[in-house]
Amino acid sequence: MAILVDKKSRVMVQGITGGAGKFHAKRMLEYGTNIVGGTSPGKGGTSVEGKPVFDTAFECVKETGADTSVIFLPAPFVKEAAIEAIRAGVKLVVVIPEHIPIQDMMLVRKEAVKHKVTVIGGNTAGIITPGECNIGIMPDIAFAPGRVGTVSRSGSITYYVADTLTRTGYGESTCVGLGGDPVLGSTFDEILWMFEEDEKTRAVVMTGEIGGVYEERAVDAIKKMKTPVIAMIGGIFAPPGKRMGHAGAIVEGKMGTAKEKLEILAAAGAHPAKTFLDIPEILKILKV
């Protein structure tokens, strides 16, 4: 089993004729991802990598049975594309672009909740279930099938954690990139509950970063989970007021520091890790 995506996922690429969409569609197909079509207004009837292109998400879903969408479009067009995909009937939308306007993302999340659709991103590297499905821009070389789930706000940290798990023989069940924008489609607690219900996932590595309160919101979930959670926070040495890459990764005053986040998560029952190499050592103690 896995969460969110597997070899049966039927993927639609919104923006498939653009530079990024075309490039990553090819990569995803080479990995084995089941891409069934794509969209690009005005280019319906053409094809990319042998996959049909439609003018709208509604047409693509109707003709191909797509149940998952990945968006490769400029930020100003994401809201319209995501809401169209949600209303067309997909159950998962992955928003790759960054700097999505806050109000736009709030409207997308509202629509997703209404239709019971999961949205990942914006500013996400995507999702990968190793050996089955890679959606987004994740470099597949770091991943291998296994028993540890990961969820992170940072794409690069996702790769490093996966590489650590792969090299130490644990592998990954599914790796989820929440995204680095201030307003996200999904939160840590929502993804943690999915892993809790997955029989294949024996433990979860949750990696956050400075700024915001997404990590703190996971406390109630961690307290109730039987699946052990390892928590690591990027930016532990970042000074107050320092922005660390993502739009959502900035410390304001004493709120949102790595030290504070790690202490809160540990108090809830998570196993704190300060470095990547701590992770396999904790898993060994937990006998995962």
Domain co-membership, 73 together with 31: yes
- What size, in residues, is the chain? 288
Residue 178 belongs to a domain: yes
Q: Single out the residue in 121, 153, 186 at which a domain terminates.
A: 121
Tokens (6 digits) for 252: 């304001």
Whether 270 and 145 share a structural domain: yes
- Sorted by sequence, the CB contacts under 8 Å of residue 70 that are 6+ apart come out as 11, 12, 13, 14, 24, 28, 93, 94, 96, 126, 135, 136
What percent of the chain shows pLDDT beyond 90? 85
- Asked whether residue 130 is assigned to any structural domain, the reply reads no
Distance CA 104, CA 82 (A): 10
Q: Is residue 1 part of a domain?
A: no
Joined tokens for residue 261: 């986040």
SS3 at position 3: coil
pLDDT digit string (tens) for 93-149? 999 999 999 999 999 999 999 999 999 999 999 999 999 999 999 999 999 999 999
The radius of gyration computed from the CA coordinates of the chain, to the nearest angstrom, equals 18
Residues 116 and 201 in one domain: no
* Residue 193 in domain: yes
What would the mean pLDDT of 85-92 be, rounded to a whole number? 98
Q: Are residues 117 and 204 in the same domain?
A: no
Percent of the chain with pLDDT over 70: 92
* Number of structural domains the chain divides into: 2
Mean pLDDT of 161-167: 97
Average pLDDT of the chain is: 93
Neighbours of 163 (CB within 10 A): 16
Domain boundary among 93, 121, 149: 121
Please report whether residue 129 resides in a domain. Answer: no
> Cα–Cα distance between 276 and 257 in angstroms, integer?
19
Q: Is 126 inside a domain boundary?
A: no
Does a structural domain hold residue 218? Answer: yes
The reported pTM is 0.92
Is 239 contained in some domain?
Answer: yes
Same domain, 30 and 143: no
pLDDT at 65: 98
- 104 and 24 co-located in one domain: yes
98, 217: one domain: no
Handedness of CA 119, 124, 125, 128 (dihedral sign): negative
pLDDT tens by residue, 39-82: 999 999 999 999 999 999 999 999 999 999 999 999 999 999 99
Does residue 149 share a domain with residue 29?
Answer: no
Whether residues 152 and 250 share a domain: the answer is: yes
Taking CA atoms, 36 is separated from 71, 129, 255, in Å, by 14, 18, 44
Tell me whether residue 246 is one of the annotated catalytic residues: yes
Domain enclosing residue 76, as ranges: 11-121
pLDDT grade, residue 251 (50/70/90)?
A: very low
* Residue 265 and residue 147 share a domain: yes
Determine the pLDDT at residue 241: 57
Does residue 163 sit in the same domain as residue 261? yes
Catalytic residue among 24, 115, 246, 271: 246
Residue 51's CATH number: 3.40.50.720
**pLDDT given at position 256:** 66
CB 135 within 8 A of CB 7: no
CATH number, domain of 256, equals 3.40.50.261
> Distance between alpha carbon 225 and the CA centroid of its chain, in Å?
20
Question: Last residue of a domain, which of 121, 149, 167?
Answer: 121
Same domain, 115 and 159: no
Better pLDDT: 246 or 263:
263
